[in-house]
Structure 1
Amino acid sequence: MTSWALARGGRLLVVDDSPTNRLLTAALMRKVGFTVDTADGGAEAIASVTLAETPYDAVLMDVAMPEVDGIAATLAIRAMTGPRAMVPIIAVTAHGFAEDRDRCVFAGMNDYVPKPVRRLELLVALKRWLEPGMPEGETVRRTNPAP
């Protein structure tokens, strides 16, 4: 899985209000070949997606953040016009109940990876959304199916 990421590369936005989680996730993704920008909350994530010179390949979005949480940020990104609205958004969250996953999906997130972050799970989710050949009509997948 690491070789896929190293060969593909790409630009990611890591959004988390915890400096430790943000730095850890960014470091994990840089180590396997991604270029990574970070945002410390939903408002900064919205601005980053809007203003990025080159659109992001994917956004790794924490859900529980103060002020503008991951759900609100995702809704704002999905409300944008053009291709930026379609960026794959992967929830990265400690909230693991089925209703939490459903909230992410209903907000427009494409996938769900639980914390603590494991590199392999994150790479599997990224590959699912960044590789060509996503099945027609497929819009949401979850790394761990809801119980």
Structure 2
Amino acid sequence: MPLRSVSAAYLAHAGDLASNPGQQAAYDSMGHCVVLAGPGSGKTKTLVLKLARIMAEDVGAPRGAACITYSQECARELTRRLERLGLREAPNLFIGTVHGFCLRHLLMPYGRLADLPVPFPLAVATQRQADQAMKRIGDRLFGVGHPPPPHGCLRHSVSGRSPPQG
């Protein structure tokens, strides 16, 4: 559902930012916004209200907005708070991680232009699939039973088909 059709419920909460000049400045800023502050300082609240305002007042089709974070947990929290304001998922809004943004908006649409072998449909490997792939790689490179490769090598694995058996 397009966010424009939703009431301006965010305005009732935007007044809460007036008591904090930093939050108010971030909310009122035009263009890109990066909020750097300590825990519990109201970063998420400020970003959610700013994003709600941007979607309601500034972004018209075919334009869109992206709210990029570093963790899935943060992306889920941003989405939950937007939903509390009555804002639902929209095709012109991306809320997610850096990796998700690159995958959905760069690799998938433009990978074929660079002759990258991007399988379709693309699926992100589960943690179990990533751990199994890491074990197979370790077994092939270092021998069966050898300690696995360094932690984190496949943390952002992408899989388009079943892994090769061997």
In terms of fraction of residues, the more strand-rich structure is 1
Q: Which has the larger radius of gyration?
A: 2
**Same fold, TM exceeding 0.5?**
no
In terms of fraction of residues, the more helix-rich structure is 2
Question: When the two structures are superposed, what TM-score results if normalisation uses the length of structure 2?
Answer: 0.29
Question: When the two structures are superposed, what TM-score results if normalisation uses the length of structure 1?
Answer: 0.31
